[in-house]
Every structure is written in C-alpha cells, then in structure tokens.
Amino acid sequence: MSLWEYANPVKFMALSGRVLPWTAALSAICLVVGLIWGFFFTPDDFRQGSTVKIIYLHVPSALMAINVWFMMLVTSLIWIIRRHHISALAAKAAAPIGVVMTLIALITGAIWGQPMWGTWWVWDPRLTSFLILFLFYLGYIALWAAIEDNDTAADLTSILCLVGSVFAILSRYAVNFWNQGLHQGASLSLDKEKNVADVFYQPLLVCIAGFVLLFVALMLLRTRTEIRARRTKALLARERVA
C-alpha cells in the first residue's frame, strides 16, 4: 500500500467519495461551534473591545491563505517530478479556495485595522505581501484558464506556484524580517509562548480546525470535479475523432 496508489483517478474517486461527506460534516460542526462560541460566549478584550471577535475569522483565513499555497507548491512539485495528473488537478482545485481565504483575510484585516489603527490599509510588509499573494492566486487561476492544453497549463502554473512561494513565505514571516509596520507579530506560533489568552484561544482553535476541514472538503469536491471534467473532455475528443 503506497500513497502513490491514489494518483490513480479511479482509486482517488473511490476514497474521496467516502471521505468527503465526513469532512464536510465535521467542518460544518467545527465552524458553527467555533464561531458561535467566539461570537456569543467570549468577553471583549480590555484594549480592543468587541473587535477581538474578528480574530475567529481573520487568523484562520490568513493561516489558510498561506498554507493553501504551500499545499499547491507540494502538489505542483509532485507534478513536475512524478507527472501525476491528480496532483496538478488538486493544485488547480485548491487555488479558488486560497483566493477566497486571502480575500477574507484582507477584508477582515481592513475592517479590524480601521478602528484599531485608524486606517483601512497601510503599505506594511505583512499587508503588502498578502496583497501580492492574492494577486499571485489570481494570476495562477488566470493562467490555468488561458491555456487549452492541460499538461502545458500544469507545467506553467507549477512554475508560477514555485515563484509565488516566495511571497507565501514573506506573508508568513514579513513581520519577523522587517521590524516595522503596524501589523503585530504572529498570534500563533509553535516556537513562542502563547500570545492569546485561553478564553480566546480555545474557540480560535475550533475555528482553525473548521477552516482546515472546510479546505479539505472543498479541495476533494473540486478535485473530483476537475477529474470528471477532464474525463468528459477526453471522451468528447474521442467522439470527434471517431
């Protein structure tokens, strides 16, 4: 039994068909519980007031914006090295989810920034690198749409994904690289002490789990769609030839 067996579309469709309903249901449960807990049952912050409730949207979406790109990087590398079509289609399927996550992070960040910083937007290292990441997502989707041949599109978008990874890394570490700008340091970090009080941290973890599961469910659904669309295209091409 090897992971590469699931590069076979038939096996992938069978496994994803079984996993998808569970992931979708778990995602819905985590999101509903996490957001209701965070919105209704957490106190205001002593400095930020009720705007602290935006953390349950902003942090998970920003986390996903960066990590979806890294997932696309891994699947793009698998395509470049091993030429498994499922990996290229998974990267293509993930991009619209990533663009929505980045947009949510930008919008909720602006809405949060206005009352706290007195401005919707500043050309701060983290904000700017996130905006560039958003533009990379749009460019990636546009490139897939612009090229007729699937393999050529997968090759070129994989290269774009490699280049864009620089900005995904910058988005994550910009606040560490440049000690300037309005954006605070990372709220969640594996190597630092906890920066968020438990009363906010626990519902935040549930929301993060909900966003991760939502991504997995949507990615499986969209990859299945891409596989079906590709199969339809191949069958239509055969009909035209016959």
Partner 1 sequence: MMPDLGRYADAVLSAYAATIALILLLVIFSWVQSRRAKAALKEIEDRRNG
Amino acid at 5: E
Q: CB nearer to partner 1: give 175 or 218.
A: 218
Q: Should residue 96 be labelled a site residue for partner 1 when binding is judged by CB under 8 A? A: yes
Q: Does 142 bind partner 1 (CB under 8 A)?
A: no
The residue among 3 and 240 lying less far from partner 1, judged by its C-beta, is: 240
Closest CA to 104 of 129, 126, 134: 134
Out of 80, 103, 141, 162, which residue is the one contacting partner 1 (CB under 8 A)?
103
> 175 and 185 in contact (C-beta within 8 Å)?
yes
Interaction of residue 123 with partner 1, rule CB under 8 A: no
Does 32 contact partner 1 by CB under 8 A? no
SS (H, E, C) 87-107: HHHHHHHHHHHHHHHHHHHHH
CB of 48 to partner 1, least distance (A): 8
Q: What's the burial of 44, exposed, middle or buried (CB within 10 Å: 0-12/13-18/19+)?
A: exposed
Indicate whether 236 belongs to the interface with partner 1 (CB under 8 A): yes
C-beta separation of 153 from 143 below 8 A: yes
For partner 1, which residue of 82, 83, 194, 231 counts as binding (CB under 8 A)?
Answer: 231
Cβ nearer to partner 1, comparing 195 with 225: 225
Of positions 1, 2, 10, 40, contacts partner 1 by CB under 8 A = 40
Other Cβ atoms within 10 Å of 163 Cβ, number: 10
Interface with partner 1, residue 5, by CB under 8 A = no
Residue 148 binding partner 1, by CB under 8 A: no
| Least distance CB 175 / partner 1 (angstroms) | 21
Based on the shown chain and the rule CB under 8 A, indicate whether residue 17 belongs to the binding site for partner 1: no
Contacts of 213 (CB under 8 A, 6+ apart): 23, 24, 26, 27, 30
CB of 68 to partner 1, least distance (A): 12
C-beta closer to partner 1: residue 159 or 235: 235
Rounded to a whole number of angstroms, the minimum distance from the CB of residue 5 to partner 1 is 23
Cα-Cα-Cα-Cα torsion 203, 204, 209, 215, nearest 10 degrees, comes to: 130
Task: State how far the Cα of 196 lies from the Cα of 18, in Å rounded to an integer.
Answer: 37
